[in-house]
Structure 1
Amino acid sequence: MYLVTFRLDPGEYDAEFHELNDAIQVAAEETEGYLGKRTWHAPESEEVLVVYYWESLDALESFGADSDHKRAKRRWTEWYEAYEVTVTEVVEAYGSGFGDDADPPV
């Protein structure tokens, strides 16, 4: 499994951002190998972390080829003050007690 952590400092969102963001989420959900996402908001700042769960690197690369996703990446300065993407391969995951909130989300 792979995790893609999208860390962002939001700027100003307009209607076009929301439309494109919704289209990108649909594209992710329709990509074979997409497992879900989780979003966290830092309590002390505007920073947001979105973690996307992918079954394989091939699935992630397939999503990366989406035209809406590519277009949004080119326009990031219009909507974000800053961003960072980290791709991580999960070697092991374990735990107990989260029930329906266990990762990866479904």
Structure 2
Amino acid sequence: MIQMYLVTFRLIPGAYDTEFHELNDAIQAAAEDTEGYLGKQTWHAPDSEAVLVVYYWESLDALESFGVDADHKRAKQRWTEWYDAYEVTITEVIETYGCGFGDDASPLA
């Protein structure tokens, strides 16, 4: 049986500035440096400004380890400066299967 957790970050973007991009890059680097980080995929809704980013994690421990990152905490406190809305959903994956997505498949598919 696979073990994987998805963190789905749904957002409506606001105005991004240089500080946002620098902080976003630092957060992504911290995620990639966290043991148990498996990857991410991003989708843009065709009928709205909504963006969906799905982060893949090997365990809740890995996710919690990333959650204490200082840049990540700072960004969470300042979300109103860069997003009009956001929602985070954490999901445990029971099963994943499929065919045809190649390199675009989920990390454990």
TM-score (norm 1): 0.96
Question: 1:91 matched to which residue of 2?
Answer: 94
Equivalent residue, structure 1, for 2:38: 35
Matched, 1:77 2:80: yes
Counterpart Cα distance in 1 of 2:36 and 2:70: 18
- Deviations 1:37-76, CA, capped at 9 Å, x for gaps: 0000001111000000000000000000000000000000
The amino acid of 1:65's aligned partner reads V
- Deviating 4+ runs (over 2 angstroms): none
Aligned residues: CA RMSD: 0.9
Alignment length (residue pairs):
105
1:24 matched to 2:27? yes
1:98 partner amino acid = F
CA distance in 1, matches of 2:45, 2:105: 20
Q: Which whole-Å CA distance do the structure 1 matches of 2:102 and 2:89 have between them?
A: 27
2-side partners of 1:23 and 1:98: how far apart? Answer: 29
Gaps of 5+ in 2: none
What residue ranges of structure 1 are gaps of 5+ in the alignment?
A: none
Shift of 1:97: 1.4
**TM-score, normalized by length of structure 2?**
0.94
For the residues of structure 2 that align with 1:69 and 1:100, how far apart are their CA atoms?
A: 28
